[in-house]
Amino acid sequence: MLSPNADEALSLLSITSPPTRSLIQESAHKLLDYGVRDAVIIRSGAMGAFVLVRGSPKAWWVPAFWSSDDPEAEGKVIDVTGAGNAFLGGLSAGWELAAGVSGAEIVLEAALHASVSASFTIEQYGLPTLDEGARFARVGMGETWNGDVPLRRLKLLKERVETVDV
């Protein structure tokens, strides 16, 4: 799997144009054509992430959790430092957590976890805050980060995924 950010993906292909959704999609296809074995996920900041899996009849745009279209997003994006690293860490964790999911869908599930992970990272300077007290207060919901439950964000994000025919 290859997961560059949009600028890196375009640079790998010697494309000097600014990133757009269509150019990102085209770049993902080219990277698969050039030999990436299984999947390409191009991290595209506020545009989200484009997920393309070899052999799948569809691809996906996983939105950034905090969207400029969302009134709740106002003031939520404080510092994007580390968002790419958080995305990749969330991608790895999501892959592990996607038990029972197979094929191209496991890559999508992992990318959803990755977007949620990045969403907590950009809300403040420094690391997100884990509320240990809330960890056990919400039985079945899991721990609370920055005052919110990751599983709640994951559910909301799943409703906003855009499927693209390949």
Looking at residue 95, which CATH number applies to its domain? 3.40.1190.20
Query: Cβ of 52: how many Cβ atoms within 10 Å?
Result: 25
Residue 16 maps to a domain: yes
Question: pLDDT tens, 98-151?
Answer: 878 888 999 999 999 999 999 999 998 988 888 866 555 554 556 788 888 888
Residue 38 maps to a domain: yes
Residue 1 maps to a domain: no
Structural domain range at position 104: 6-165
What one-character DSSP code corresponds to residue 52?
A: E
What one-character DSSP code corresponds to residue 126?
A: S
pLDDT of residue 73: 77
pLDDT of residue 132: 66
Mean pLDDT confidence for 8-28: 97
Task: Calculate the average pLDDT of the chain.
Answer: 90
pLDDT of residue 100: 83
Show Cβ contacts of residue 81 under 8 Å, excluding neighbours closer than 6 positions: 125
Mean pLDDT confidence for 8-22: 96
Strands of the chain (E only): list them.
39-43, 49-53, 58-62, 130-131, 144-145, 162-165
Mean pLDDT confidence for 20-36: 97
Counted domains in the chain: 1
pTM of the model: 0.90
> 132-149 burial, b if ≥16 CB within 10 A, otherwise e?
eebeeeeeeeeebbbebb
